[in-house]
Structure 1
Amino acid sequence: MKNLEERGHLLTEQINPASQKLDQLTSLELVDLFNREDAKTLSAIAAARIELAQAIDRTALALSRGGRLFYVGAGTSGRLGVLDAAECPPTFCTPPELVQGIIAGGAGALVRSSEDLEDKPEDGAEAIAHRHVTELDVVVGITAGGTTPFVHGALQAARQRGATTILIACVPSEQVSTEADLDIRLLVGPEVLAGSTRLKAGTVTKMALNILSTSVMVRRGKVYGNRMVDVAVTNKKLHDRALRILQDLTSLSREEAGYLLELSGRQVKLALVMHWTGLGKEEGDRLLAQHQGDLRSAVQSWNHNTMENS
């Protein structure tokens, strides 16, 4: 890998020939140009499909064994990791510590630029030590240009602790190498605004994190069909969604669904178990626990045992 001070060779820093006259374009031409360039994110995801699937498998297995998922990044990359982590508790009713975002500079860097803090690998290592990362955990380093010292320091510390490590970058491996267990390259090419990786690189990174975290939660039994049956019912919008899920998957009226939801302690998954098996709240809880929270597995097992005993 070349000297980290010399980044002009990186794909993310190069000049995009399609936007050489960016400052001379009309507003409509600007929109069309961005649209054409953003379309490249789909191809980049497709090209990394195998690596993304491997990351899903490794992460789902780690979480099933009691591990946690950490995203580590600086600037836009760090903010995207924190955002994805923050969305997991309301969407999948996971504890906040299960998926965590680590950003160089801490919480203040979420709303104010602090890019100078990304240059200290020891800070990344300290963040890993502070969270007591172990061999059960997965640490995903996110760095568009692939060179962020904070991220590499975190990944190195995580490797030393035996954790599964994953690198997500938007430059080819021959430009920036890695010792991470999994190497995901999202190659979208030079940005419309040269070097501004909050654009295509940020977009494709958000897409990859969406795929990773959602698929892991699917594998962990947090989804039934395409319904978020582990949704946390914490506001009116989510309460309405919970009722609609119950109505969609059963023949209940909205009023009946509301009664069942309250009876289950506002737990959609448990409400469905209670409805489909006739079990009470405590028995339904035990059945789900026996199947690690997997609704489909729990209900299929119940039906199978019921048929055998009839």
Structure 2
Amino acid sequence: MSFTKITEQDSLYNDLEKMEVSELLTNINKEDKTVAFAVEKAIPQVETLVKIIVDKLNNGGRLFYIGAGTSGRLGIVDASECPPTFGVSHDLVIGLIAGGDTAIRKAVEFAEDSTEQGWSDLKAHKISEKDVVVGIAASGTTPYVIKALENCNKNNIATGCITCNEGSPLALTAKAPISVVVGPEFVTGSSRMKAGTAQKLVLNMISTATMIQLGKVKGNKMVDMQLSNNKLVERAAKMLVSELKVDKEKAETLLKKYGNVRNVLKNYSND
């Protein structure tokens, strides 16, 4: 089945090399402003996938992101932020990229073209019906991702995707597809730009909404965050000063005793 790759269509701008820096930046920003509106149109699709993810995680499952290149890296970034931000285990949200960890920093040639490696990478993590797999590919045509999702479907594993080409093979493969159509890139085909931004926004929505639904936020605060640096310790202390009406020194003492904000709120008493 053929379809038009909007992400590969010619830029709306030409003679980029003749533009002054200010003109380049203004035009890039002009295009970037359209991304959030494109994401807004996809909110119903995002909602469908988030509800599936929440259900799976509430029942002992895991969330997998799988992608190649920029898409794979964005998935890994989102997955890696969940433990420090929400205090969840490192194996609850897992990011996989074509070419393995080497590809996080340096492109691995033709890794995304493998029709077998994606499923192999998932099987290495003992993927099961409890889990949910979200394929990420701006083009929607990446074999590494599509074949992985096809195998998931065959094995009754829930699938979703984030793509920027509606009607793409990936969107047609995923059971809960998200298609964010951002249009041609400023530099023709450079999907790390608007498409990448759109994917990042959707990933933010998926992980944040999911973690809130799982009870990892109280009010509007990250009460389960890991206190892994001075900035986060200070943030946590401020939460406690506000919530418990104690001074900063007392708040820091409580954090050392109980480990994080939630535990302090659960165990501390003024008595």
Q: TM-score, normalised by structure 1?
A: 0.84
Within the alignment, does 1:170 sit opposite 2:164 as a pair? yes
Within the alignment, does 1:270 sit opposite 2:260 as a pair? no
Distance of 1:153 and 1:277 partners within structure 2: 57
Match for 2:34: what amino acid?
K
Match for 2:28: what amino acid?
F
Secondary structure of 1:121's partner? Answer: coil
Distance of 2:170 and 2:15 partners within structure 1: 30
Give 2:15's aligned residue.
21
Secondary structure of 1:178's partner? Answer: helix
Query: Which one of the candidate residues 26, 30, 40 is aligned to 1:32?
Result: 26
Secondary structure of 1:165's partner? Answer: strand
Secondary structure of 2:116's partner? Answer: helix
Shift of 1:161: 2.3
Give 1:246's aligned residue.
240
Pairing of 1:92-131 with structure 2 (within 5 A): 92-131=86-125
Q: Percent identity?
A: 39
Match for 1:12: what amino acid?
T
Given that residues 73 and 79 in structure 1 are in contact (C-alpha distance below 8 angstroms), is that contact kept between their aligned partners in structure 2? yes
Query: Which one of the candidate residues 258, 282, 307 is aligned to 2:252?
Result: 258
Within the alignment, does 1:67 sit opposite 2:55 as a pair? no
Deviations 1:148-177 (A, max 9, x none): 000011111222222110011001116765
Q: Which has the higher contact order (CA 8 A, sep 6+)?
A: 2
Give 2:38's aligned residue.
44
Deviations 1:80-128 (A, max 9, x none): 0011111111111111110000000000001101241100111111112
Q: TM-score, normalised by structure 2?
A: 0.96
Distance of 2:239 and 2:171 partners within structure 1: 45
Secondary structure of 2:65's partner? Answer: strand
Secondary structure of 1:139's partner? Answer: strand
Distance of 1:184 and 1:12 partners within structure 2: 15
* Unaligned 5+ runs, structure 1: 279-310
Query: Which one of the candidate residues 190, 197, 200 is aligned to 2:191?
Result: 197
Given that residues 129 and 156 in structure 2 are in contact (C-alpha distance below 8 angstroms), is that contact kept between their aligned partners in structure 1? yes
Please identify the structure whose Cα radius of gyration is greater.
1
Give 1:293's aligned residue.
none
Given that residues 161 and 170 in structure 2 are in contact (C-alpha distance below 8 angstroms), is that contact kept between their aligned partners in structure 1? no
Distance of 1:71 and 1:51 partners within structure 2: 17
Give 2:52's aligned residue.
58
Within the alignment, does 1:80 sit opposite 2:54 as a pair? no
Secondary structure of 1:106's partner? Answer: coil
Alignment root-mean-square deviation, CA: 1.6
Deviations 1:202-236 (A, max 9, x none): 01101100110011000001001110000101221
Distance of 2:169 and 2:143 partners within structure 1: 15
Give 1:160's aligned residue.
154
Shift of 1:64: 0.5
Match for 1:269: what amino acid?
R
* Unaligned 5+ runs, structure 2: none
